[in-house]
Structure 1
Amino acid sequence: MGEPYADQVRRKHAVVAGILGAELPWSEPTTGPESGFRNKAKLVVGGRRGAPTLGILDGQQRGVDLTRCGLYEPGLADIVQRLPQLVTDLELTPYDVPARTGELKHLLITHSPDGEAMIRFVLRSRGQATKIAEKLDIIRAALPEARVVSINLQPEHKAILEGPEEIVLTEHDALPMRVNDVVLQLRTQSFFQTNTHIAAALYAQAREWTSRIRPETVLDLYCGVGGFALHALGHGARRVIGVEVSGEAIRSARQSASQLAAGTTYAHDWHVGDATEFLTETVPDLVVVNPPRRGIGADLARRLDDHGPTHVLYSSCNVTTLARDMTAMGNYRIVSAGLFDMFPQTDHHEVMVLLARTS
């Protein structure tokens, strides 16, 4: 932070191009707002009952307020600034990490392009869940944007954000996220990119590459809520298959696809499972991979190299593991590449490449 944004982008591009190859057919870096871009807030609740802090914890595990953080997009920033009063009105006791007392651990908020929001209360135990449920009218009055309100139970004293159990309090259990002309249904424990503006550009570029290839079938591994697959459907692809380890994400993708494909002959299939185990004897026309920072790994890279399709689209948030995976995929070459600045003011990056089989 403090470095001029144009200089940040040039430096990031130099880093990723230096690792993958400056001679590649790079497009101009895709950028968006340098502040006010985050569509989600993950707030640690500190302080005390009646005087909560929402933000992070300091070195002594005490709350530091970040409700006026400049990274939140405008609608989200407005919601976040109303939350301390809401926590007070709900009479919730913040969780005290050193003392291991209290109930409310985190508040997780996601904001949609249409101004709606998902609000999740992360509690230590079920004891306060009834209190929140009984005061849903207070939440609605304070946050009329809230389409989805839920309680997540995280009983363990560990540095983890949320637990496996979710209790949805509203009639809606998914937040519609309109990205380009696709509406993604985001459920409570589904992953979505932090920066909607750059996510839209990323999916649009992937669609353009897909339309150029015109694959009949697209296999989207690590598909999340289906962003890449659903942008391909009807744009070259008549069938998409998505694979993701999160059941909530697959339910989101299935719901979105059913709405998108209604009244068409397009086909879609979604599977909960390990992406590394899914390549079978039936090879699709295009494989999309969007793995976590660790990359796709040696096993999947080898399978793609041995039996993969004509093209692979690889979206990566870690150029080092992307380069490692590319080394294991010697039968492919990069034919298009781009940097997408998903995380301004940081050294993090998103890189997407289109690979073509050479042999």
Structure 2
Amino acid sequence: MIQCPNRPICDGCPNFELDDDDDHARVLEELRPLFETHDLEVPTEILGAGPRLGYRNRAKMVVKRGQLGFYSRGSRDFVPIETCLVHDQNVEAAINAIRPLVKGLDGLKFIDVRYLREGVVTLSGKRDFSSEETEPFRVALSELPTKWSLHQVVSSASVVHPSNSSAPVLEAQVRDKSFELPADAFFQLNTYVLEAIHEAIRERVESGDLLDLYCGIGTHGLSLVSPEGRVRGFDAVESSVLAARRNAEALKIEADFAIHDDSQPPNWSDVAGSTAITNPGRQGMSTEVVEWLNSKDLAGIVYLSCQPETFTRDVERLTNWKVDEIQIWDMLPKTSRVEVLAFLSPRKIEVLEPSDTWVALVAGRAPHGELPGGKFKVRAIKRTDQFSLVSIQGTPVSEDEIVFALRKWGFPLLTPNQALAKSMFLNRLPLENVVSGAPCHLFAQARVPVKILDSLVALGTSEG
């Protein structure tokens, strides 16, 4: 077995000494409590592709006391590194070429080394370095057998901005398509696994239009769209979206990429029948995007996430969607970090027949007693400071009559999705049975078929 020369002082690859089976078993056990808490089935295997070492196409390293290294996980403890076995060999070659030079460049804080079809080294420091100071770096990189360029940014505790030099542009290859990639743009660290994930998506997604949420340079949408389809996407990073537009033009794909963050939902029309591919950052999707997805008649959702915690939170909030399959991909072998790939399809919401027993989620502290008109008797099942889960009983009435009665109750107006997002105790409800078909401006409610009333009552009762 290959031994890591940096263990045990470096904890970047905690599973390095384990064989693949033990490595994957450990990661699955770490994920199990999280998935089970959110009533998600834990996959039985972790999928992989490509080499287990030498896969990482990017390295961000700390410069301290003239040495290169990393910060220990969860701390600012510096760990000097001479070599890293998970780095791509071209990344390692560039690091070794400039290693002797970092000590002589005063103010240098970080280096970012990235290699795809060609490479770029970004120097990050407290000041703008002169061309005379950086010339030795250019010379060292020029002596490598692969093509490299040099870039620099000026950083402080609160801001990073480009220096006077313009940022280079890389070319990324995904299967048979080439993408323009700004040096500072996001791109998957493991191209081998990225291509395998795309193949898994192709097997599940039928032809048609794609919605590329958090699109970056358009890698997912432009790689996966069928010849007759079009791509629409958004991202907050302007340079990435501009690159996505140029990539679509170069690939001759009909596309529309917008620049905005996720505090506002997309404003696309005629999205019915499209498939959404969402690949948010670690923070997951915003409430606005989740509600937008809940409101649209899409063919399906493909959710790709590097953060299982926010993934599980988001799919729980996607109340109009059900999870058909979850795959776990070993994006960064030898580490505990994985990529979650999930396929979601629309829930079939049935129109409920008139019933003499309903369950509703209402805003505020709902009292016991009769609703206006005297036709319905209300009993609290569960209560928080903001919401009450109540049972409503009376003569058989339709859903519309229940909505009308609730509106006359005079509580604050909230959408069903806002109520679901804010009421943590609802995480425990069997939400696949919850019907939330009311227009958004009606009284907040989640009407539940009577067949699950007993399981709701089992949550406990509140009398005052």
Given the two structures, how large is their TM-score scaled by the length of structure 2?
0.64
What is the deviation of 1:222? 0.8
Corresponding position of 2:236: 245
Task: Name the residue aligned to 1:331.
Answer: 320
What is the aligned partner in structure 2 of residue 109 from structure 1?
A: 113
Q: C-alpha separation between the residues in 2 aligned to 1:199 and 1:319?
A: 17
Distance 1:236 1:337 in 2: 27
**Matched AA of 1:260:** L
| Aligned alpha-carbon RMSD (Å) | 2.9
1:1-359 equivalences in 2 (<5 Å): 1=15, 2-13=17-28, 15-16=30-31, 19=35, 29-47=47-65, 52-56=66-70, 64-87=79-102, 91-93=104-106, 103-112=107-116, 114=117, 116-126=118-128, 128-132=129-133, 138-143=139-144, 145-154=146-155, 156=156, 158=157, 163-168=160-165, 173-210=168-205, 213-215=206-208, 217-233=209-225, 235=226, 238-261=229-252, 266-280=253-267, 282-284=269-271, 285-359=274-348
The CA deviation string for residues 239-261 of structure 1, in whole angstroms up to 9 with x for no partner, is 11121111121122223222211
In structure 2, the CA distance between the partners of 1:226 and 1:330, relative to structure 1 (3 Å rule), is: same
Q: CA deviation at 1:221?
A: 0.9
Q: Which stretch has the larger CA shift, 190-199 or 79-88?
A: 79-88
Distance 2:172 2:57 in 1: 10
| Local SS of the residue matching 2:326 | strand
In 1, the alpha carbon distance for the partners of 2:257 and 2:18 equals: 43
1:22 positional shift: 6.7
Measure, in 1, the Cα distance between the counterparts of 2:221 and 2:163: 27
- Amino acid of the structure 1 residue aligned with 2:187: F
Question: How far, CA to CA, are the matches of 2:49 and 2:135 in structure 1?
Answer: 44
- 8 Å contact from structure 2 (residues 300, 345) kept in 1: yes
Aligned counterparts of 2:41 and 2:227: Cα–Cα separation in 1: 29
Show CA shifts across 1:250-291 (max 9, x none): 122223222211xxxx31122211134233361521111101
C-alpha change, 1:232 and 1:246, in structure 2 (3 Å) is same
In structure 1, what is the Cα distance between the partners aligned to 2:138 and 2:295? Answer: 57
CA distance in 2, matches of 1:256, 1:67: 37
- 2:235 alignment partner AA: E
Which deviates more, 2-11 or 344-353? 2-11
* Structure 1 residue identity aligned to 2:47: P
**Cα distance in 2, alignment partners of residues 337 and 146 from structure 1:** 39
Question: Residues of 2 paired with 1:339 and 1:187: CA distance?
Answer: 29
Task: Mark the CA change 1:308 to 1:16 in structure 2 (over 3 Å): closer, same or farther.
Answer: farther
Runs (5+) with no aligned partner, structure 2: 1-14, 349-464
Shift of 1:299: 2.9
Which protein has the larger Cα radius of gyration, Structure 1 or Structure 2?
2
Give the deviation of 1:236 after TM superposition.
Answer: 5.8
Q: Partners of 1:148 and 1:251 in 2: how far apart?
A: 21
Which one is further off, 348-357 or 338-347? 338-347
Distance (Å, rounded) in 2 between the aligned partners of 1:131 and 1:182: 38
User: 8 Å contact 1:45–1:63 — kept in the other structure?
Assistant: no
Q: Deviations over 1:201-221 (max 9, x none)?
A: 1223223333xx212x21111
| Identical amino acids, percent of aligned pairs | 23
In 2 relative to 1, CA 67–40 (structure 1 residues): closer, same or farther, beyond 3 Å?
A: farther
What is the letter of the counterpart of residue 54 of structure 1?
A: L
Question: Secondary structure, in 3 states, of the residue corresponding to 2:130?
Answer: helix
Return the offset for 1:306: 2.0
Deviation of the 1:191 alpha carbon: 0.8
Query: Unpaired runs of 5+ in structure 1?
Result: 94-102
Corresponding residue SS for 2:160:
coil
CA separation of 1:338 and 1:166: change in aligned 2, threshold 3 A:
farther
Alignment CA distance shift 1:168-1:250 (3 Å): farther
Indicate the larger mover: 59-68 or 196-205: 59-68
